[in-house]
Structure 1
Amino acid sequence: MISEIPDDNVLPFQVEGLDVRGRVVRLGPTIHAVLARHDYPAPVSKILGEAVALTVLLGTSLKIEGRFQLQTKTDGALDMVVVDFRAPDSMRAYARFDADRVAADAEAGVDLLGKGHLAMTVDPGGDMNRYQGIVPLAGEGLEAAAHEYFQQSEQIPTFVRLAVAEAFEANEEERGLKWRAGGFLVQFLPAAGESVRRDLPPGDVPDGIELPETEEDEGWNEAQILAGTIEDHELIDPMISSEDLLYRLFHERGVRVFETQPVREECTCSRDRILGMLRGFPDEDRRDMVGDDGVITVTCEFCSETYVVTPAEAELEDS
């Protein structure tokens, strides 16, 4: 009997011989719940799934009890993607798109995200300041944008792979196509004094001065080559565990894995939050929200939960 490989988790790892650390994420029921609930077109589901995998890879690495949010804003058919991760293990996500443009652009092979920017925000909560990194999106996808983010904002050599697809699942409860997502992130983080980073120039260089050509660290170069062999199916195949994947990549160097971190989908909306939001609007705006049926109807963009609020609950005068 084949044992079931657990899904919806992140596995941190370290390859000491190459001075690299990283994480592998596997998403099954969690990502399917997000994508199936909204019945997104397949091309939209793929990009949103990639965004979720990337957010989880980054969010679970934070040593805080706050939030990490990924958001795109572009001129594409898929003009907005939002993924909200709350430490230590919960996330929610949604996408905004023009259905007609998505169908036409997908058929023509046009990038759905278009041009715009990708923002990644760390909110530690409390009195601590938020930190935000912004990188351009120019039709090269989220993997390329993630590389640009780490190059500009974090200045850490980083390699990212993302994969999303539907896979046929057959079990006692249900059969059919289910969305799956996977992600792989590896970073060059040498111990102090043992290696130096050689792929960035040392600060501003005066005009007329040319720097000698430099080479990347040999260990980091090897890690990138190995990581570049990862295929999509290896990240989403329910029969390939994260441990198996890491062994395939780094068994000659020796790879150390740490405790897996669970991931779950959880929306933070509630009736109290909705009421608080509505009561923050001026009376006139709240009156405009009242429908022909005499109530205010609010649907959460993340989880699709619908809340019906009476004018009295919204504290409208003369209600």
Structure 2
Amino acid sequence: MLGSKIAWDDTVLPFQLDASDIRGRVARLDGVLDEVLSKHNYPPEIEALVAEAALLTAMIGQTIKLRWKLSIQIRGDGPARLIATDYYAPTADGEPAQIRGYASYDAERLEQGVDPFTQIGRGYFAILIDQGQGNVPYQGITPIAGGSLAACAETYFAQSEQLPTRFRVAFGKSTLAGEAETWRGGGIMLQKMPKASPSVLNAEGGDEDGLVRANDILTEDEIDSWNRANFHLDTVDDMELIGPRIQATELLVRLFHEDQPRVFDPQQVAFGCNCSEDRVRQSLSIYSSRDIAHMTTDEGQVVADCQFCGARYELDPSTVGFEADDDGAQD
């Protein structure tokens, strides 16, 4: 059992249900989720939002033919002002993908003991895909609606990509015998295989809020298989999703054996942040020496903190900005 735990932690397993023309992902985040959340002292409501966003990012990021970065951003007018996560594609075969995340929130307005999703308020859920230098970034946005970040992601795929999609996620703190308490999370993503020329069947849009849902873009022949897969997904419990005692492959057989699940190579994921001193210097290069002087601390340094990983950069003010003393800059 211990070997199974190690094998499936911090992985995203792609699969396909051959009998239903549905693809999906199973995500298990252990060390990654623990490291994302341990970088900050978030209150429980914010921890829950960041954990859910990280799981969604892991599953969605692995479905994209990605050369660089996929980001999820949730912005609202409530106490939870911003939830941001990034998924960086592997740099080479056999290398892990990297995930990071952080949140900005108003501690004074935050309500304790309530549904974390309500702390976002009105706003939007956005997916941004950046394929790197020389490519125009893509951005898709959907309103905050549906009662969870998973529901927002489902609406995004139906509305923007015309792909029926479903998510189940679970997360929490776990203590195994003889080990310290750590965060664990798991999730399953189902998605109807894309068609060559998708079109919204209900042109006037689904629900009362005008947002398109999965059933609005399914044909009558597809609805039965989609509903069957969703029915089985609804039977999964949180501990099955989170693990670590049940293998991801065993879970798929338990849920979807009627639909002939077929798995592919799992993708390892790790916590990672691409911040660096060079990036800090580049971001400060647009400022004059007068601007830099206003940023300089009483100790005579320009200080920058990474919101994602907590790294701190302390720079000599004479070496930053477009009027920097090149002779004083460090190699």
Scaled by the length of structure 1, the TM-score of the pair is: 0.88
Cα distance, 1:49 vs. partner?
0.8
Aligned partners of 2:4 and 2:247 also within 8 Å: no
Percent of aligned positions that are identical: 37
Query: C-alpha distance in 2, partners of 1:214/1:13?
Result: 23
Name 2:213's counterpart in structure 1.
none
> Relative to 1, partners in 2 of residues 1:286 and 1:157: Cα closer, same or farther, differing over 3 Å?
same
Q: After the TM superposition, which residues 53-72 of structure 1 pair with which residues of structure 2 at under 5 Å, given as runs?
A: 53-72=55-74
Q: Deviations over 1:256-290 (max 9, x none)?
A: 11100000111101111112212222322211100
The 2-side partners of 1:127 and 1:317 are apart by 28
Given the alignment of the two structures, is residue 127 of structure 1 paired with residue 129 of structure 2, yes or no? no
Counterpart of 1:269?
275
**Equivalent in 92, 95, 101 of residue 103 of structure 2:** 95
- Corresponding residue to 1:244 among 223, 226, 250: 250
In structure 1, the residue matched to 2:201 is: 201
Q: CA offset at residue 197 of structure 1?
A: 8.4
Q: Superposition RMSD on alpha carbons, in Å?
A: 2.5
Post-superposition Cα deviations, 1:84-109, rounded to whole Å, max 9, x if no partner, equal: 1111311211111122322xx13355
Identify the residue that residue 76 of structure 2 maps to in structure 1: 74
CA pair 135-258 structure 1, distance change in 2 beyond 3 A: same
Q: Are 1:168 and 2:170 counterparts?
A: no
CA distance in 1, matches of 2:195, 2:201: 20
Check whether the contact 2:77–2:121 (CA below 8 A) recurs between aligned residues.
yes
Give TM-score scaled by structure 2 length: 0.85
Between the aligned partners of 2:230 and 2:198, the Cα distance in structure 1 is 14
Q: Quick one: which amino acid aligns to residue 134 of structure 2?
A: D
More divergent stretch after superposition (280-289 vs 140-149): 280-289
Mapped to 1, the partners of 2:324 and 2:4 lie a distance apart of 58
Distance change >3 Å, CA 139–CA 2, structure 1 → 2: closer
C-alpha distance in 2 between matches for 1:85 and 1:43: 22
| Other structure's SS at 1:64 match | coil
Which amino acid is 2:168 matched to?
R
Matched, 1:188 2:192: yes
CA 1:280 to 1:62, structure 2 compared with 1: closer, same or farther past 3 Å?
same
Partner of 1:208: none
The question of whether the paired residues in 1 share the 8 Å contact of 2:145 and 2:151 is answered with no
Residue 49 of structure 2 corresponds to: 47
Between the aligned partners of 2:137 and 2:198, the Cα distance in structure 1 is 28
Alignment correspondent of 1:36: 38
Q: Following the alignment from structure 2 to structure 1, what is the Cα–Cα distance between the partners of residues 52 and 65?
A: 23
Identify unmatched segments of 5+ residues in structure 2: 91-96, 206-217
1:286 counterpart = 2:286:
no
CA contact (8 A) 2:29 2:55 kept: yes
Partners of 2:2 and 2:87 lie apart in 1 by: 33
Aligned length: 303
- 2:3 alignment counterpart: 3
Match 1:140 to one of 134, 147, 163: 147
* Alignment pair present for 1:24 and 2:26: yes
Secondary structure at 1:126 match in 2: coil
CA contact (8 A) 2:39 2:308 kept: no
Deviation at 1:220, TM superposition (A): 1.3
Distance in 1 of aligned mates of 2:308 and 2:171: 19
Of 181-190 and 42-51, more deviation after overlay is shown by: 181-190
Is the Cα–Cα contact under 8 Å of residues 160 and 185 in structure 1 kept in the other structure? yes
What is the SS of the residue equivalent to 2:319? coil
